[in-house]
Amino acid sequence: MSTDTRIGLRIGLLGGTLDPIHAGHIETARAAQRALELDRILVLPSGVPPHRQHQPEASPYHRFAMTALAINGIDRLEAGDAELCAPGPSYTADTLVRLRASTGLPATQIFFITGADAFAEIETWHRYPEVLDLSHFVVVSRPGFPAASMKTRLPALASRMVPATPAAKCSGAAAVFLVEVLTPDVSSTEIRRRLRAKASLSGLVPDAVAAHIRKHRLYMNDTLSTTATHLHDQH
């Protein structure tokens, strides 16, 4: 990433295993972008997810490819490989430190985007509570987890939580912005289950992602395809 210290630049990050990326991830990113008028959002598949008991089923290369396909043509969203290229577990704190070093941006111009379901577990994250000072956090509602409920779930952080509005986007110390919005009720686990059951993915993932999954036989108990170390045409 090229250095850009332009005053007011606002960069969002949406990370996750993305195994595979789905409509919930995309709408979470778009909701954060609209609420805070972010200039760009990097969507970053994780390399080695530290919080998962089992490793991703699809290889890093396929997960990056699906991410790029999913957000192709969506304004202000772009796929990034920062976590895939970094050694060791993909800790949010380490990603934020690297991003700040590469861009020269302060914490108040970086916005880490996460679903409310994931943020509810923030106290278990690596380098908590210091991680909250490395950027703003943008917490977007997910089914069963309204963003507003975070104040009750995490009372120790309630004083940092504010509604996400463009006027509040960059001032002061790193904050936790709450975005109350409806996002699709879909999970990567459900998508993988549906694939094995040969059920439709309509409305759950972009058509280009569904085509990639089927072309490379991902999530179909095909060890060769899910652990491939490079992308290639399969005939």
CA 212 distance to own-chain centroid: 20
Give the tens place of pLDDT for each residue, 69-94.
999 999 999 999 999 999 888 999 99
- 11 Cβ contact list (under 8 Å, min separation 6): 38, 39, 40, 41, 42, 99, 103, 105, 109, 110, 111
- Give the contacts of 167 (CB within 8 A, at least 6 positions apart): none
- Average of per-residue pLDDT values in the chain: 89
Residue 227, burial from CB neighbour count under 10 angstroms (0-12, 13-18, 19+): middle
Residue type, 164: A
pLDDT tens per residue, range 101-150: 999 999 999 999 999 999 999 999 999 999 999 999 999 999 999 999 99
Reported pTM: 0.90
| Residue 209 burial (C-beta neighbours within 10 Å; 0-12, 13-18, 19+) | buried
Name the band, by pLDDT with cuts 50, 70 and 90, for residue 7. Answer: low
Note whether 122 and 128 are within 8 A (CB). Answer: yes
3-state secondary structure of 118: helix
Q: What CATH architecture does domain 11-179 belong to?
A: 3-Layer(aba) Sandwich (3.40)
Are 49 and 91 in contact by the 8 Å Cβ rule? The answer is no
Binning pLDDT at 50, 70 and 90, where does residue 188 land?
A: very high
Exposure class string for 190-204: b at 16+ Cβ within 10 A, else e: ebbebbeeeeebeeb
Stretch (H or E) spanning 103: helix 92-103
Choice between 52 and 217, residue whose per-residue pLDDT is larger: 217
In the chain, ranges of CATH 3.40.50.620 domains: 11-179
229 band by pLDDT with thresholds 50, 70 and 90: very low
* 154-176 pLDDT per residue, tens: 999 999 999 998 776 555 789 99
11: nearest Cα among 28, 33, 26, 44: 33
- Residue whose entry in the numeric block shows the structure tokens 């993988």: 192
